[in-house]
Structure 1
Amino acid sequence: MAIDISGYTYCHEHLHIDLSKQKNDIDCRLNQYELISEELIALKSRGVFNIIEVTNRFMGRNPQFIENLTKDTGMNILLSTGHYIEGFFSPLIYNQSAKDISLDMIRELNIGIKDSHLKASLIGEIGSSNNHFSTTEKKVFEAAAMAHYETGKPISTHLSLSTMGREQIALLKKFNVNLSAVTIGHCDLRDNLDDILWLIDQGCYIQFDTIGKNNYYPDKKRVAMLCELGKRQLLDRVMLSMDITRRSHLKVNGGLGFCYLIDEFIPQLKLNGITEQHIDQMLKITPYTLFK
């Protein structure tokens, strides 16, 4: 599946995810097909044509659900392969080698995802825990590096509360991954401009992908950091998204909904001097550069 360059791309989303068992909360089972379809149709009418869906197998990935969404909404959806973070792993991978794990990723990238007509388009979201890298998380990163070598597909990562970005890059460097094929997720959950500048300097892309999650970090601070990156002419290394994961995040359920980024956050950026050219860069050109 290729990116449609004529429209915007959300770089980090979940259209079907189920973390309800681990979190003991039915709200974490995002599977309301009609509501999600309606939001995607509305989103497409606003110029968003592509979604990078970073749910992997043991997070509740459902390729049949995605196939139907693509057919019913016309949204271009790119799927992922990989493993998330400690606490959300299949018991199987603890006894697998990095090589074995990589072969499974490669199969989904090159041949396809079981019981569907879809292939994975990227490796993600693979992550580290809050201020910690477990042994198995490191093994998943090694497997991701192997899969990247074999397929050339990009890697999308997860930072827990914007921690461990430097450590993720150090590990990927250890495995000789080309950092221009890496995007670091959830960089926008705390005051960490120095870390962001360091990450960009290493050659990777960064994601401001929890837009609207003001209970974690206020959007006004996200705007301020993006303006600072704009002053340094670094917005070409940034992509945007919302990381919707719960039923309560959907508009009809009282949440902000998928359109919030376009309807409300982008106008905030423009009011603070971010140009249309910058917005096209973050939502159109940079995602195409990485995920094409």
Structure 2
Amino acid sequence: MTDRTTAPDRGGRDGGRPGGVVQTFRGPVSPAALGRTLIHEHVFVGSTELDVNHPHPEWDESAAIARAARQLTELYRLGVRTVVDLTVLGLGRDVARVARVAQQVPVHLVASTGYYTSNVLPPFFGTHGPGRLVGGPDPLVEFFVGDIEVGIAGSGVRAGMLKVVTDAEGITEDVARVMTAAAVAHQQTGVPITTHSRPDLRNGLDQQAFLRAAGVDLSRVVIGHCGDSEDIPYLRGLMDAGSTIGMDRFGMEHVLPDERRVAVVLELLRLGYADRMVLSHDAASFSRVTPPSWRAVHAPNWNFGNIPRRIVPMLLEGGASPEDVDRMMIDNPARLLGSAR
């Protein structure tokens, strides 16, 4: 293993400038315009059938849009310039609703595509695709590529990131299908892939093995939710294989306190991995899964402003340099997001 003084340069501030453009809700921007970026967040998380048939008692669309706009405007005041919304199919994605927020805020919002399932897909996918009852090409590939190259749901908003999931169930047949479709879409478009992982199961290694076998360059992959882990050898292994790791659940102190999350980041910085980490919260302005009333009591720091308000000062006080913070929040997101064709 290497330390900071001998760690290989993997890109970022000293390793070249990202190319291409980044698609946002308001159109393409230069990677240099992204600034400080939160690369794993959600504006609204829902459940489409439940939302239609059994609306959540805390949900009011107009109020929710206004609240999200206030939060993201305040985030801009705190120095953050870009937020990646990783709400994909399976999480109640509604880009038209988020577009109403994007029109009101100074931050760049980036949409995503993919399918959030840890086990099975809806029945539609069981009958559509090569060798299936209805046949035709795999709709997942068509959906993902169309979202990236044309726009999502007729909105014209093009996705700038792909998301896949593996959890306790492992890489099931349907999960493998999603990951394969994401690999194809990535290869056709250059858009990076991020994952939902379970670091307690060390399944980022399985994700890397699968994506590598599918032809994905692991330097274009973020293994998500690694901030839930204090297993330094595991995290180093993921980065040494080429991937960036998402230290992306700050504020989820019911899983791991922020002080311990910060300690892991500081140790990895000391070991020379500033160029292979990104910071975020996996927060939401409104989530049906953990609604605002629950978060207010059980996770009061789980919000978009936690990193600029609390975590960055903790990192700096712990020995991180301003350049370390910029690399994790500016250079690394720009390198990842700015390499789309």
Same fold, judged at TM 0.5 (above): yes
The whole-number CA distance in structure 1 between the counterparts of 2:279 and 2:192 is 17
The whole-number CA distance in structure 2 between the counterparts of 1:17 and 1:46 is 24
2:300 to 226, 249, 255: 255
Specify the alignment match of 1:277 in structure 2. Answer: 323
2:74 aligned with 1:48: no
The whole-number CA distance in structure 2 between the counterparts of 1:188 and 1:94 is 35
Q: C-alpha offsets along residues 104-133 of structure 1, whole Å, 9 cap, x if unaligned?
A: 211111111113121111111x11012622
The whole-number CA distance in structure 2 between the counterparts of 1:192 and 1:20 is 36
Specify the alignment match of 1:203 in structure 2. Answer: 242
- Contact 1:20–1:26 (Cα < 8 Å) also in 2: no
Q: Which range moves more in the overlay, 61-70 or 86-95?
A: 86-95
1:184 to 223, 230, 241: 223
The code of the aligned residue for 1:159 comes to S
Alignment of 1:207-226 (within 5 A): 207-226=246-265
Richer in helix (by share): 1
Q: Which has the higher contact order (CA 8 A, sep 6+)?
A: 2
Q: C-alpha offsets along residues 174-206 of structure 1, whole Å, 9 cap, x if unaligned?
A: 111111111111011132221110110111111
The whole-number CA distance in structure 1 between the counterparts of 2:57 and 2:194 is 25
Change (3 A) 1:216 1:253: closer
Q: Matched residue of 1:56: which SS?
A: coil
Query: Normalising by structure 1, what TM-score?
Result: 0.91
- Contact 1:15–1:30 (Cα < 8 Å) also in 2: no
Indicate the percent of aligned positions where both proteins have the same amino acid.
25
Specify the alignment match of 2:112 in structure 1. Answer: 80
- Contact 1:162–1:186 (Cα < 8 Å) also in 2: no
Q: Which range moves more in the overlay, 77-86 or 129-138?
A: 129-138
> For the pair shown, which has the larger CA radius of gyration, 1 or 2?
2
- Give the unaligned 5+ runs of structure 2: 1-22, 24-28, 131-137
Superposition deviation, residue 21 in structure 1: 6.6
Change (3 A) 1:89 1:48: farther
- Give the unaligned 5+ runs of structure 1: none
Query: Normalising by structure 2, what TM-score?
Result: 0.78
- Contact 1:10–1:48 (Cα < 8 Å) also in 2: yes
Q: How many residues align?
A: 291
- Contact 2:47–2:92 (Cα < 8 Å) also in 1: yes
